[in-house]
Amino acid sequence: MDEEITEWRTYAGEGVLLDGFHALKHALRFGARVPVAVARDREAALALARDLAPDLAPALDGLLRQVSDRTLGTLVPRPHPTGVAALALPAPDGRTDSALRDREAPLVVLDNPRNLGNVGAVVRLAAGCGAAGVLTTGTADPWHPSAVRASAGLHFATAVAHREVTELPEGPLYAFDPEGKDLRGLTLPPDAMLAFGSERHGLTDAMRERADHLVALPMRPQVSSFNLATSAAMALYHWMAESGTP
C-alpha cells in the first residue's frame, strides 16, 4: 500500500479531491485528468461502474487501485460511503477564462457565499442546466473538497472559479434582491450574469453597485428567503423555459 500512498501524495498538492464514485464518474465523463484513483473494494466499485456508468467501466478498470480501509482513511479524512476516492488535475486557467468570456448561457455569481455545500449544489445545478459556469466572490474556495463533494464532481462539467467583484467578465449583471423587479416579467439575455447574495447578509454593497438590474424571485409574503441553491434553480429554470433550452 505504500506505493498507492506515495502516488497519492505526489498529486495531492495540485489535485482536486474526488470524494466518492459519482464524483469520479462525472469528472471522467467530462474530460478531467485523473492520475490516481483508489477503492476499498475495487470489485464492488467496478460493479457499480458496470451498472451506473458502463461507458466508463473500461477506463475505471485500468485506473482503480485496491487499498485497505486504513489506507483510505489516511488519504481521505471522511471517506465516501462508496469507498472510492481520486485526485483530478484542474483545467488550465486559460480554458476557464475563455469559457467565462465567450459564453452563450448565463453565468451564476455567488456573492460571498458561506456554505460550501450550497456552492457545490449550485455548481451541480449550473452543470445540469447548461449554464456557462459559477463564479464566487469572498473567501470561500469554490474548489474546496466539500464543494466538489456536494457537486458530485460536476465542477468538471462547467467553468468554476473565484473572482473579485471588480474582475467579473463583461455582460449584463442581474442581481437578485427582494427590492428588484419580478423575475417572471423578464427575459434574461444569453450572456447574463445572475448574482445571488450570501445566505445571511444578501448582496454586498460592491455587487449591488455593479448590478445593471435588480431582480426579485416570487415569494409568499412573510417568508424571508429561499435557500441559495433553490434561488439559483428558480432563476436557471426561468432562463431555460424562456429560451427553450432543453
Nearest Cα neighbor of 178 from 131, 221, 143, 229 is 221
CATH class of this structure's domain 2-89: alpha beta
* pTM, rounded to two decimals: 0.93
Q: Which CATH architecture has domain 93-243?
A: 3-Layer(aba) Sandwich (3.40)
Q: What CA–CA distance (Å, rounded) separates 180 from 162? A: 25
Q: Could you report the per-residue pLDDT of 69-127, keeping only the tens digit for each? A: 999 999 998 899 999 999 999 877 667 888 888 999 999 999 999 999 999 999 999 99
Domains of the chain, by residue range, sit at 2-89, 93-243
Which residues, 6+ apart, have CB-to-CB distance to 6 below 8 Å? none
Which residue, chain included where needed, has cell 445593471?
212
> For residues 174 and 42, is the Cβ–Cβ distance under 8 A?
no
Cell of 13: 498538492
Query: Which residue type, as a one-letter code, is found at position 148?
Result: V
First to last CA, the chain: 46
For the chain, 246 residues long, give each residue's pLDDT as a single digit of tens: 567 788 898 888 889 999 999 999 999 999 999 999 999 999 999 999 999 999 999 999 999 999 999 999 999 988 999 999 999 998 776 678 888 889 999 999 999 999 999 999 999 999 999 999 999 999 999 999 999 999 999 999 999 999 999 999 999 999 999 999 999 999 999 999 999 998 778 899 999 999 999 999 999 988 888 899 999 999 999 999 998 887
Residue-level length of the chain: 246
Per-residue pLDDT at 94: 67
